[in-house]
Each structure stands twice: as structure tokens, then as C-alpha cells.
Amino acid sequence: MAFAENSHDVIVSCLSKQTLQEIEGLDPAQCGFGREECCEPLPAKLPGSMALKEHLFF
């Protein structure tokens, strides 16, 4: 899979001006990743989920 140098620019170039305006008008409190339900613990039986119990240093 090839990656574009700036994938954001590639995505933006594929969207209409109306779609971009609609995205910009979204309320982050309702649609963003900072919502309460995005920060809850993952369900134990969710496929591919895992809980980190150790600290990782990169």
C-alpha cells in the first residue's frame, strides 16, 4: 500500500466544498474523539481489544 506524502491533502482534494464545510461545522463534543464514550474502558469481548498493564517506553 502506497502512502501519499500528505494524506490530509489527498483526502481534502477528494471532497466537495460543501462536504468540507459540513465537516468543519461538526460539534467536537458530539463527534470528536474526546467524547466520554471514547475514553471508557474497552469491552473485554471486543475483537482485537487489549488492555495495557505495563508502561511502554519508545
Evaluate if pTM is beyond 0.85: no
**Using one digit for the tens of pLDDT, what is the confidence trace for 14-30?**
999 999 999 899 888 78
In a domain, 57, yes or no: no
Residues 22-43: what's their mean pLDDT?
A: 75
56: in domain: no
Domain that holds residue 24: 1-31
Domain count within the chain: 1
Residue 18 lies in a domain: yes
At residue 7, what is the residue type?
S
Mean pLDDT across 31-57 = 67
Q: pLDDT digits over 42-54, tens only?
A: 666 766 666 666 7
